[in-house]
Amino acid sequence: PAAPDPLDFLAVDASLSAEEAAVRDTVREFGRRELLPHVAEWFEAGTLPDPRGLARQFGRLGLLGMHLQGYGCAGASAVCYGLACRELEAVDSGLRSFVSVQGSLAMTAIHRYGSAEQKEEWLPRMAAGEAIGCFALTEPDAGSDPGSMRTRARRDGTDWVLDGAKLWITNGSVADVAVVWARTDEGVRGFVVPTDTPGFTATVIHRKLSLRASVTSALSFDGVRLPEAARLPLAEGLGAPLSCLNEARFGIVWGAAGAARACYEAALAYTASREQFGRPVAAFQLTQRKLADMVVDVNQAALTALHLGRLKDAGACHHQQVSFGKLANVAAARRVAAAARSLHGANGITLDYPVLRHLLNLETVATYEGTEEIHALSIGRAVTGISAFR
Ligand code: TGC
Ligand code: FAD
């Protein structure tokens, strides 16, 4: 057998089909050409300077709602979507987040729970990147426990009136449409809210030290009046938003593998060229231990992602298995990014190298879409049959 490729040690990518490899190569090439040269600048500025331009570029590549069928969406397999997430997050978690929020969250909510009119109105434009969506579940006092949300929608004749606040909403200030989850007398319901509706305001959150190449916002709803046609007719209860989260979490399983790979590749290159004590840093046993641990983490993460992708394409991926992937791969990526940063010495604390940027981003990735603790408790509940959430 051939010696392992240092950049794909377990030859995980060798099992990809030609179509899957083509998606990987297209997104990787796009990321390296169009995104990577600018991303440190965006991270330093703490924003995405041209979210609409970016959305249109993602749309042209078919990355928005990539796994959805019809309405101008690519109808790709779960593995193809995962590979796209992996290659985007190898550049920066903020860019994968942009695609996750648009496709896995906002578009999936409309595609799965929307009326024919809602789908026709929003999905083709969102797939093309002509309209940007956000997904508003988290509130100032309801994060891990979204079932305690306070945002409320009450009926007023044939209309609904929405009052409340959401926090930490990716793309909230640049969105044309917000999928907002609210408590009603009938339980949790979802609403498709055009962001120019009177009473809707979005404010950018500043001073983030993580996911800086991403717009994060606070939303407030002050008597936002909506017709019945704005309610997602098929969404009944908290299970509806949670089912959308599974889609985004699946993308994160792959994305974290991409961030880990990028940090490992940076460390491998850096330690080969940096010399101390008359030898490349890569020659020291302590470095090789770190590199070996990274190889294990990076390849196990890639395997986990691909396995879950194959299960998902077979219609057999349970949300508790997605929790496994999110917990395992984000933890692996954090270990790899921390070790890679240390191997870069002082250079590792700058934006000239990607390692600290990834490590900082991964603090968010470990927090959103269910914290580490939440996924641990989901797995704990699955294997014991006992809920330790409350
Ligand atoms: P629980 O009683 O467990 O469940 C309520 C109903 O929902 C069902 N369910 C799920 N369905 C589909 N997928 C899942 N993952 C599901 N988890 C639960 C469940 O079967 C039940 O259905 P039914 O018919 O029996 O009523 O609810 P709980 O209140 O005990 O909460 C469970 C818990 C803690 C796991 C859940 O609340 C949770 O996942 N919390 C974390 C919240 C979270 O992840 N928020 C993310 C916000 S969006 C975001 O962060 C975007 S970041 C940007 C980016 O993605 O890049
Ligand atoms: P809390 O829920 O307050 O948790 C605090 C700590 O308590 C954590 O360590 C948590 O694990 C722990 N904890 C909580 N409950 C338990 C328990 N039962 N047992 C043990 N430990 C527990 N949300 C959206 O709706 N849409 C978005 O687009 C979005 N984008 C985001 C972008 C960024 C940059 C960030 C940082 C967050 C984003 N979020 C978004 C919010 C994100 O989903 C929440 O931050 C996350 O769900 C955690 O909620 P919290 O921050 O309120 O933390």
**What digits encode the pLDDT tens for the residues 244-291?**
999 999 999 999 999 999 999 999 999 999 999 999 999 999 999 999
Task: Record the tokens describing residue 45, joined without a space.
Answer: 């500025």
Gap from CA of 38 to ligand 2 centroid (Å):
29
Among the bound ligands, name the one nearest to the CA of residue 138. 2
Task: Record the tokens describing residue 16, joined without a space.
Answer: 């990809």
Percent of the chain with pLDDT over 70: 100
CA 390 to chain centre: 27
For residue 236, the model assigns a pLDDT of 98
Gap from CA of 369 to ligand 2 centroid (Å):
7
Q: Which of 211, 207, 140, 133 is nearest to 173 (CA)?
A: 133
**Can you tell me the distance from the alpha carbon of 97 to that of 211, in angstroms, rounded to the nearest whole number?**
9
Which residues are catalytic, by number?
Answer: 369
Ligand 1 site, CB within 6 A:
97, 100-101, 135, 137-138, 144, 146-147, 170, 237-239, 242-243, 245-246, 248, 319, 368-370, 374, 378, 389
Average pLDDT rounded to a whole number, residues 106-113: 98
**Can you tell me the distance from the alpha carbon of 52 to that of 130, in angstroms, rounded to the nearest whole number?**
7
Pocket test for ligand 2, best of 99, 138, 246 (most atoms within 8 A of CB): 138
- In this prediction, the answer to ipTM > 0.90 reads yes
Q: Tell me the pLDDT tens digit for each residue of 130-140.
A: 999 999 999 99
Q: Tell me the pLDDT tens digit for each residue of 267-277.
A: 999 999 999 99
CA-nearest residue, atom 46 of ligand 1? 369
Average pLDDT rounded to a whole number, residues 210-223: 98
Instruction: Report if pTM > 0.90.
Output: yes
